[in-house]
Amino acid sequence: MKTVLQRILLFVIGLPLVIGVVVLLPYKHHLAVNLLVILLSALGSGEFAVLLQKKHKPIAVQEAGILGAVLPLTVTLTVSFDFPAQIVPGTFILGASWVLVSRIFAGEDTLKDVTDRFAAGCAVLVYPGLFMAWIIKMSRWAYADKVILMFLLMVIANDSVAWATGMLWGKGNQGIIPASPHKSVAGFIGGLTASIIVGLGAFFFIPEAFSSRRIPSAWAGMALGLISGVVACLGDLGESAMKRSANMKDSGTLMPGRGGVLDSIDSLSLAAPVYYASYWFFFA
């Protein structure tokens, strides 16, 4: 019951807060949203480092947080302050190079872990920061507030409705996916339906941002919701598989009722680049 109340409270407080940041703070191509993405990426990467440490992939939490934040930070510099786009791949190369060479003068006892550390360092460069950076890239589009808001609503609705329908009707249809045995077919269908409804609603209520020239706009909205909903579920399951591999229930404890930051942005992370590409195909 405590977890249920915590999730409801987080939803009631968190959703209006997210909407307010997106809608009311558009300055510098949604700099407030971009800074929030950087912060969440840094915290999520730190938690990812803890998972990697469980699998004997040594990288410090603080270093992982910095590596996880650098790509969203450089994308923010290009989007909000018109830095040249070349700094993004350049930053990735610099980060990977740092991980590669930073232990060449280390002692013999440290050198044995260099290969694992390089793998861990490249991993935290990419996940979740590089995935989350696509939310920042959305802020350059026309109607960016509406595009970002619909993305967040599709993923949040998917997660919330999947949890609710799973609680109500999922008792007899769980255990299908070993990575997350508590996930249910009822939850998956409920979450996917919610994402599709949000996509359809985007066309009806925000036609200026969600009108398609390729296929009928209503179908395009539902397709966007369907694609985003499926990928959001896969993002959640992918992180669950990593936690199960590391024998961890939650990635952290910062989010009451949800676990860690990575537990809260896993769906957003994988869905962001796919939503970006799908919106570009259907609507941009």
Look up residue 223 and give its two tokens.
Answer: 């397709």
Instruction: Give pLDDT, residue 257.
Output: 63
Per the structure, how many domains does the chain have?
A: 1
How many residues make up the chain in this entry? 284
Instruction: Give pLDDT, residue 3.
Output: 62
Our measurement of the distance from residue 205's CA atom to the centroid of its chain's CA atoms, rounded to an integer in Å, reads 25
Full-model pTM = 0.94
Cα separation of 147 and 45, whole Å? 26
Alpha-carbon dihedral sign for residues 7, 8, 9, 14: positive
Instruction: Give pLDDT, residue 256.
Output: 65
Q: Which domain holds residue 101?
A: 2-282
Cα separation of 165 and 169, whole Å? 6
Q: Running along the chain, 284 residues long, what does each successive block of 10 average in pLDDT?
A: 63 79 93 97 96 86 96 98 96 95 79 87 95 97 96 94 90 85 92 97 95 94 98 96 90 77 94 98 92
The amino acid occupying position 140 is: R
Instruction: Give pLDDT, residue 179.
Output: 84
Instruction: Give pLDDT, residue 238.
Output: 95
